Structure 1
């Protein structure tokens, strides 16, 4: 098995094991965090439900005042009832909004039955309040009060469900949550204790035997709840101790005393000296310390819940960071082994193979390392350097040879072929034409009055004329047509397998191009030059390059003799036909 495949398989197995372990740890931390988050939601909903239950209890005070009011009713009492109902509606609306937002609520609460019961109770209260005081019988008043009593248990059902959910998420807050629930119930039973007096105060009649019995039962339940509440000295905070003392002094002291006075007046047959509204104004405020005790217990539970929630989040963060750190360490270890050992060995292997194949394009990296692999890579780098130097020397030798060959074949001034190179290329083309049974032509031309240009403008101007003429002719030729400097101001062109007539047409085109191309000298003088052309062609085994050049030279001589700037074809017998 190759080293790369073995490393890949080992890495994959190790990664699977580590990821499985880290996934299990992180999953447990995440579930615990989500559990505490759900507990916080339940705690928040429980608080909303407790507030809604308290507002329903509080609404009974203004209801009792209105039920005992005269005709026409006191606007102030009606206003207090409106505000109490608005506060209840707001609390229920906030509870319902929280329930709708909490999609994963552990104990879903249906609000519609509570709304129906509340609407029916309020309707009964409004109907009784609209009747004359004489028509408000004890039975009807008792029924209205009972309807109001039935509202709070429905709201407290929500408190019970969310209390259990919070306790499961945060076992350490079970005590304050249970006692907060006791505080809610204490507020409810204290309110009921005052509501029992509503019928007697409204009808100005003594309490009935059932009323006395109900008062005793409520006092017993209140005493039981008080015993279950926190007592000073059990590790409670100073704020909680102060809240309990306030409940004992006001709610269970002054409030109970006020109820006892009404009860005593009923037993003695005396006038109550107050109606339901006046009683509510004095009695309802005595229950405020119970609400403060409830809020203090909830605050204590919430602080503990937040502490546990933050601890769960901290554990999740630690688990996540630890997992990331382990993965990074594992990845780093694998990368170090791969980069420092496996990859250099593989690169060294490839480098040896490349050097063996004569490929010196890449230098083995890592030769600066101070270990065994570094020694090996430095040896490979030295071998590559020596091989490159040898290759460069060979390339330089080849370049010099090519440069010498190029200089030997190129005219130094015009950059076209010289006479020697033309002779070699012309003989090759002549043999190819013979093999293919094709005719071959040469065009020999020289610049007219070139000596006078040198004498008049200097040899530098003459060189410019030669360079310019060579460039003009080269631009007119096609690929494969040979142009060379034959000597001095004389040039030769060898077209590809063309006849005498086609060669003469080419020569005419070259003559016109030279004549039409002005040359601006360095001093600004514009010089126009012309050239005379001699054309010769031949075919068959008797053709020879020297004979073609000789015939073309004779034709060139005749062109100059006839006045220059002309094209003349060769007429030698056995070589060409007349042009």
Structure 2
């Protein structure tokens, strides 16, 4: 096929590819524009789900008041419970109506879980029936166990609604990626409201039964306070311009003032009264009347965040429209430029470019065997080919230098961690490995052992046979110990004729058995010197273990060193363990 025809065919294929790419780009921008327009409904669904979760949490307050009252219940308490139930039912019904009235686009349908709403209806009906049955019983028959089970049933309702909130949040983030952090903070406020409600509900049983809080109740209160504080800090973590908005700052400040000061102080007063054995001075209904209003700033913060998300979503919709128009203009410009470029390339660049392409491909694949051809041309293509030749030479030099550098780095790393004489770890490397292993043992609540030993009468070996013989003794002992250890057990030369072994996590008895085995291996291995003399050397061992979060490697070495001193004092060639 002639080159001109081949170029025409290639140009046609290229034009089709570019048109396809531009079409795909324009279609994506169009879909983004449509999704941004319909994304407001997704945000509304998410807001409705958050409101439903909040109503479920709010319903627990009147429930606690009724369960702590006499029979028949105070009409005011009963009326508040009925209003709370009606508000919850209305919020769930509104959510369902909006789902049915304006279906979510197909691209987002998979992200919106409808199943949790069905499970929520069943669980809500069962929980309310249990509340009504228990409230109909005399107070004496409302045992703490039955009260706790009923309150726990109410607790289990909110996670079902929060599952729906999570799904709506993900769907909204698909349409508005830039508001993901705002939606996350709004989601955290829903969780904060839920755990704040749980903190108050944790006092239902003690207040209803007029009994002091048990130790498990105190532990639960501490857990809930910790979770609430964690959510508070997560909400306050800076994550963008939203954190500097005056409305957001004011809402956070009011939440701190009303709930974290007043609300939690009320819980603390009940807890202190329980510890002191004083009457609480209130029943569940009175507590709910004082505590529930303190949580309203949390919901106000949620609403402010959702309003900011709506405003950002509107800005994203406008940006999507501008980007669509820009994509149309850029697409038209690209098609025009492509047509002009093909006309120029047909006459001046095609063949030289193919030759240069082959050279670039060879260089990109690391093939430096052939230099680019045509480098003697006296034009721009020739300049490019000469530059490729220079690039080839520089790449070869860089490759060689990189290999040498990696080799040197590896060699320096080995030398830095290895004892020059015995070939085992040196003290620095062992200390680093020991600290790492000690931290792991502390986190897993395991026991870590250290075996410290040195050669008996090593100075006499040096004095009698010379330092070369002493070096041979150290090398031989290192080989014997290294061959006797298993995977996970490390050995190092700690200094002079002193060695240290750290087994895998084990107790004092197992470490002592390992030390005894090493002692026997050293004592049973004779060493033949270069001049024919046969030496039999022994070693004294000290064993120590550490356990717990406050264990320190220096303390462990010190304990092992004391045990080693006793082994030498008691006759050498023996194993002593820490006292």
* TM norm structure 1: 0.51
Stretch moving more, 259-268 or 72-81: 72-81
Matches within 5 A, 1:327-346: none
Match of 1:135 in 2: 141
1:36-83 deviation digits (Å, cap 9, x = unpaired):
345433322211111110000000001101111112211111111111
Match of 1:197 in 2: 203
1:299-352 deviation digits (Å, cap 9, x = unpaired):
11121111101211233355568989999xxxxxxxxxxxxxxxxxxxxxxxxx
Match of 2:113 in 1: 108
Q: Contact 2:66 / 2:77 at 8 angstroms: preserved in 1?
A: yes
Larger radius of gyration between Structure 1 and Structure 2: 1
1:80-117 deviation digits (Å, cap 9, x = unpaired):
11110011001111112233342532223222211010
User: For 2:160 and 2:290, how far apart are their aligned partners in 1?
Assistant: 27
- Displacement of 1:31: 1.9
User: For 2:184 and 2:330, how far apart are their aligned partners in 1?
Assistant: 38
Structure 2: which 5+ runs fail to align? 1-12, 336-579
1:425-444 deviation digits (Å, cap 9, x = unpaired):
xxxxxxxxxxxxxxxxxxxx
The number of residue pairs the alignment matches comes to 317
User: For 2:150 and 2:120, how far apart are their aligned partners in 1?
Assistant: 16
Q: 1:233 to 1:148 in 2, by over 3 A?
A: closer
Match of 2:152 in 1: 146
Matches within 5 A, 1:298-337: 298-317=306-325, 319=327
Matches within 5 A, 1:265-280: 265-280=273-288
Q: Contact 1:138 / 1:203 at 8 angstroms: preserved in 2?
A: yes
Match of 1:166 in 2: 172
- Displacement of 1:171: 1.9
1:249 equivalent to 2:246? Answer: no
User: For 1:16 and 1:114, how far apart are their aligned partners in 2?
Assistant: 53
Structure 1: which 5+ runs fail to align? 1-12, 328-579
Q: 1:233 to 1:158 in 2, by over 3 A?
A: closer
Q: Contact 1:59 / 1:88 at 8 angstroms: preserved in 2?
A: yes
Q: What secondary structure is seen at the aligned counterpart in 1 of 2:217?
A: helix
Match of 1:261 in 2: 269
Matches within 5 A, 1:4-153: 23-37=23-37, 39-100=39-100, 101-103=102-104, 104=106, 105=109, 106-110=111-115, 111-153=117-159
User: For 1:155 and 1:309, how far apart are their aligned partners in 2?
Assistant: 28
1:16-47 deviation digits (Å, cap 9, x = unpaired):
99986874453122122134345433322211
User: For 1:17 and 1:171, how far apart are their aligned partners in 2?
Assistant: 29
- Displacement of 1:247: 0.8
1:175 equivalent to 2:188? Answer: no
1:366-422 deviation digits (Å, cap 9, x = unpaired):
xxxxxxxxxxxxxxxxxxxxxxxxxxxxxxxxxxxxxxxxxxxxxxxxxxxxxxxxx
Pick one of 219, 235, 251 that aligns with 2:225. 219
User: For 2:207 and 2:168, how far apart are their aligned partners in 1?
Assistant: 38
Q: Contact 1:99 / 1:108 at 8 angstroms: preserved in 2?
A: no
Q: What secondary structure is seen at the aligned counterpart in 1 of 2:244?
A: coil
1:203-236 deviation digits (Å, cap 9, x = unpaired):
1111112111110100010111111112689752
Match of 1:508 in 2: none
Q: Contact 1:68 / 1:201 at 8 angstroms: preserved in 2?
A: yes
User: For 2:71 and 2:156, how far apart are their aligned partners in 1?
Assistant: 28
Pick one of 269, 277, 296 that aligns with 1:288. 296
Q: What secondary structure is seen at the aligned counterpart in 1 of 2:236?
A: coil
Q: Contact 1:55 / 1:88 at 8 angstroms: preserved in 2?
A: yes
- Displacement of 1:163: 1.2
1:155 equivalent to 2:156? Answer: no
1:442-477 deviation digits (Å, cap 9, x = unpaired):
xxxxxxxxxxxxxxxxxxxxxxxxxxxxxxxxxxxx
Match of 1:185 in 2: 191
User: For 1:107 and 1:211, how far apart are their aligned partners in 2?
Assistant: 37
Q: 1:172 to 1:322 in 2, by over 3 A?
A: closer
Q: Contact 2:43 / 2:168 at 8 angstroms: preserved in 1?
A: yes
- Displacement of 1:128: 1.0
Q: Contact 2:181 / 2:239 at 8 angstroms: preserved in 1?
A: no
Q: 1:17 to 1:225 in 2, by over 3 A?
A: closer
User: For 2:190 and 2:57, how far apart are their aligned partners in 1?
Assistant: 10
Q: Contact 1:145 / 1:195 at 8 angstroms: preserved in 2?
A: yes
Pick one of 206, 229, 234 that aligns with 1:228. 234
Q: 1:17 to 1:68 in 2, by over 3 A?
A: closer
Match of 2:212 in 1: 206
